[in-house]
Amino acid sequence: MAERRAETSSPLSGDRVHQSLWSTLRRDPKVLFAGGFLLLLVLLAIFAPFIAPKDPLEQDLMLGTLPPAGGSGYEPGYFLGTDDLGRDVLSRLIYGTRIALLVAFIAAGLAALFGTVLGLLAGWYGGLVDIVISRLVEIWMAFPPVLLSILLVAVFGSGVHSVIAAIVIIDWTRFCRVIRAETMGQARLDYVIAARTMGYPKLRILIREILPNVLPVLVALLSLEMGIAVIVEAILSFVGLSVSSDTPTWGGMIAQGRQIIYQGWWVLTFPLMALFATVLAFNQLGDGLRRALDPVLKR
């Protein structure tokens, strides 16, 4: 009985959050559009072998640097043209969603996990735990992210695992700082004080009472972080420090397109557009979530 009361008195508990959140989001066209686009990307990534018209790795030098549909010399079937090795740009673009989304979900998810755990601990337990974690975050943030990511990939060697590890090691601080502040704010609210008065163990209050209430903020941050992860992966692919060159990635395609820019502008343009749309979608989704969740901004 007592347990139930402590839970229902929390300001943003369970169903109510989901209901109000969903009804706000449903009326936000930007969020719907962004969400729909990202869903489409996920489907493309999963069903790439069935959707892609060609083998993304198949080279045919006879079909090198063909222009996209509408250009003179367009070869039917190669809708977005081919690169200098005769590989189909559209198919490579579709397969490229795999690495992009893989890095986005795993890297951002792990960064969120570590950052949130440390942020919750620092914000809830305070004292020495907080001092140690906060100092760590400060030192971490003195390091420029781009440089640190290059340094880390140099240390780990190139590859998609290194890219993910680098993103997690650099960006957990984003989550840690926000979740710590959010936890401290929640800890002052009545429902937490009530739960403490009831004599629940501290860890239990943290997990069952506070965590659900910082979750919405976390989701918004996560969406923004996924956009960052997609860019970081593209940058590292661009300089040749991500996956090996026979796996199609947007960053790798962009690097190739930059080199042959005078022969075939489309090799650079289409992956760049895909990258831009994806980053924008994650951003809009994250911003939409944040707007819907932020009670101060709500009119």
Partner 1 sequence: MTSLSLLNRLAMALITLFGVAVIVFVLLRVVPGDPVAMMISPGASEADIAALRAHYGLDASLSVQFAVWMKAILSGDFGTSISLHRDVLELLAERLPATLELAGAALVFAVMLGLFIAVFATLTSRTRLAPLVDTLNGLFLAVPDFIWALALVLVFGVLMPVFPLSGRINPDVQEGFHTQFFLLESLLTLRFSSLVDISMHMIMPVLALGLPLASIITKVLKQALAEAMVQDYILLARLKGMSRLRLVLQEALRNAIGPTIALTGVQFTFLIGGTVIVERIFAYPGIGNMAIDAVINRDLPLIQGLVLVFGAMFILVNLASDALVAWFNPRMEG
Asked if 212 interacts with partner 1 (CB under 8 A), we say no
The residues pairing with 82 across neighbouring beta strands, listed in sequence order, are 88
DSSP states of 177-243: HHHHHHHHHHHTSHHHHHHHHTT--HHHHIIIIIHHHHHHHHHHHHHHHHHHHHHHHHHHHHTT-SS
Vertex 106, ends 35 and 277: CA angle to 5°? Answer: 35
Asked if 131 interacts with partner 1 (CB under 8 A), we say no
52 in helix, strand or coil?
coil
Asked if 46 interacts with partner 1 (CB under 8 A), we say no
Asked if 297 interacts with partner 1 (CB under 8 A), we say no
Asked if 71 interacts with partner 1 (CB under 8 A), we say no
170 in helix, strand or coil?
helix
Question: Of 122, 235, 253, 285, which lies in the binding site for partner 1, with binding defined by CB under 8 A?
Answer: 235
Candidates 71-79, 121-129, 196-204, 269-277: pick the segment binding partner 1 (CB under 8 A): 269-277
Rounded CA Rg of the chain: 23
Residue 196 structure tokens:
């403490």
Nearer to partner 1, 124 or 266 (CB): 266
Interaxial angle between packed helices 211-238 and 89-125, expressed in degrees from 0 to 180 and rounded to the nearest 10: 140
Smallest separation, CB 288 to partner 1 (Å): 11
Whether the CB-CB separation of 241 and 250 falls below 8 Å is answered with no
Question: Of 106, 134, 280, 291, which lies in the binding site for partner 1, with binding defined by CB under 8 A?
Answer: 280
Question: Of 139, 193, 198, 207, which lies in the binding site for partner 1, with binding defined by CB under 8 A?
Answer: 139
In the chain, DSSP assigns E strands to none
Question: Of 78, 172, 238, 270, which lies in the binding site for partner 1, with binding defined by CB under 8 A?
Answer: 238
Question: Of 15, 61, 197, 262, which lies in the binding site for partner 1, with binding defined by CB under 8 A?
Answer: 262
The site string for partner 1 over 87-106 (x = CB under 8 A, - otherwise) reads --------------------
Candidates 112-120, 201-209, 213-221, 229-237: pick the segment binding partner 1 (CB under 8 A): 229-237
Candidates 46-54, 91-99, 155-163, 194-202: pick the segment binding partner 1 (CB under 8 A): 155-163
Question: Of 51, 113, 189, 272, which lies in the binding site for partner 1, with binding defined by CB under 8 A?
Answer: 272
Phi-psi category of residue 59: left, alpha or beta, with phi > 0 → left and psi -120 to 50 → alpha: beta
Question: Of 42, 46, 155, 198, which lies in the binding site for partner 1, with binding defined by CB under 8 A?
Answer: 155
Own/partner long-range contacts of 36-39 (Cβ < 8 Å, ≥24 apart): 37/277, 37/278, 37/281, 38/278, 38/281, 38/282, 38/285
Smallest separation, CB 79 to partner 1 (Å): 20
Asked if 42 interacts with partner 1 (CB under 8 A), we say no
Asked if 41 interacts with partner 1 (CB under 8 A), we say no
Smallest separation, CB 203 to partner 1 (Å): 32
Percent composition of the chain: helix, strand, coil (DSSP 3-state, to 5): 75, 0, 25
Residues that bind partner 1 (CB under 8 A): 139, 142-147, 150-157, 227, 231, 234-235, 238-241, 254, 258, 261-262, 265, 268-269, 272, 275-276, 279-280, 283-284, 287
